[in-house]
Amino acid sequence: MYLIMKTKKTTTKSLIVFTFVFFISGCSPFVENNMVEEIAPVIFWSVKDTGQGKINISTMVPPLVKEKKRLVTLEVDLLKEGEKEFNLVYYRELKAGQLRMVFINEELAKKGILTLIDTLLKDLDISQRLYLVIVTGSFEEYINNQVEKQENLDYFLYRMLKHYEKTNQGEMSIVNLHQFKNKLYTPYASPYLPVFKVTEDDFTYEGTALFQFDTLMETIKDVDDQIFQLIENDEYLKLFPLLKFSTTLGYLRSTTTIEVDRKNASFFLTVNVSSLIDEYQGDKDLSKVTELEALIKEIEAYLETRTTGLLKKMQELQVDPLEIGRYTLGPITKPMGEEEWLNEWQQMSVHVDYKLEIQPLTNKNPE
């Protein structure tokens, strides 16, 4: 049997940080850690399709200046046309290097965003650490309604995304331009982006948008999104509410094993999870070992069913955000083309096995 197996594992590691200081002249557009970004003006672009071959591009001015802020919206044919015209309607120059966030309307993302991404990548003044976000609803209405209520709203949004990226607790998908580019142009990988629902009053995380190359195919939400965080991040999920069982799992850490059996057209995913019960409002007496074990078995079966459904949805959409295709590679294996892999992936049978190690309710904080 032709079997390829690889294991990804996350453990707590001690980090030894070495700091090297180089005195050089000039600067690179690809500096990995520039603290100036933390205090520099923050610019966002909101981009949506007008449905007439044009796009609306919006930004808020002035960035981080103690003046009354307002939203500027332009209808343009080209993204760079919008950048240029912003400086014609605003008396201070808005520098592309200050761009930190691009909010993309869902309808535009469904039509494909390759041109948008390539335009951003070609501008060496634009940091590849800028955040990409899909929005449903009118982002412009939200900004106009909140600009008077929330001081430095643009900077607030940037710091929120920065916070969730840094803490990496599995609450949401946070993706920057560099990460999206890597998945876009890497064989056996499909990009994904966070989705936020906006109303006049709220900016709320909704789920993860799955892309087939540059086109948004579907958004996964709620339990499916939490499962995706657990098996994609392969790291840590602070809280996982499971309403079906009247419980919340806390401090989840996972180890996933992926096996691809091309000969028998089969895919196997094993997920080992250590966790504790953070809250329980059900009928079982979890102080009894037998009832705790029964609950664990029920949760395992539920997660296996939901994860299998999620993977089959990815097969139907012909997307591979988990980069499963990489597990078909071997030292003597001829690499497949991406299209060939996605067709093969679509036909594979899916087998999922969860192994949960769950501690009962406790007052002890595992951190």
| Cross-strand bridge partners of residue 193 | 209
User: How high is the pLDDT of residue 32?
Assistant: 42
Query: pLDDT for 83-123, tens place per residue?
Result: 666 655 555 556 777 889 999 999 999 999 999 999 999 98
User: How high is the pLDDT of residue 201?
Assistant: 92
- Residue 241 main-chain phi, psi, to 5 deg: -70, 130
- Per-residue pLDDT for 37 more than 80? no
Does residue 251 lie within any of the structural domains?
Answer: yes
- Per-residue pLDDT for 253 more than 50? yes
Does residue 366 lie within any of the structural domains?
Answer: no
> Helix axis angle, 289-317 relative to 222-233, nearest 10°?
90
Nearest to 310 by CA among 254, 271, 343: 271
pTM of the predicted structure, to 2 decimals = 0.84
Does residue 26 lie within any of the structural domains?
Answer: no
Does residue 181 lie within any of the structural domains?
Answer: yes
Strand 247-261 and strand 236-242: the pairing is antiparallel
Does residue 88 lie within any of the structural domains?
Answer: yes
Note whether 192 and 132 are within 8 A (CB). Answer: no
Query: pLDDT for 198-235, tens place per residue?
Result: 999 999 999 999 999 999 999 999 999 999 999 986 57
Residue range 254-262: mean pLDDT, rounded: 93
Mean pLDDT of the chain: 83
- What's the domain count of the chain? 1
Note whether 294 and 272 are within 8 A (CB). Answer: no
Give the structural domain span for 50. Answer: 3-9+36-359
Does residue 274 lie within any of the structural domains?
Answer: yes
Query: Nearest 5°: CA angle at 325, between 186 and 231?
Result: 95
- Per-residue pLDDT for 16 more than 90? no
Note whether 166 and 223 are within 8 A (CB). Answer: no
Does residue 27 lie within any of the structural domains?
Answer: no
Does residue 31 lie within any of the structural domains?
Answer: no
Residue range 352-367: mean pLDDT, rounded: 76
- AA letter at 227: I
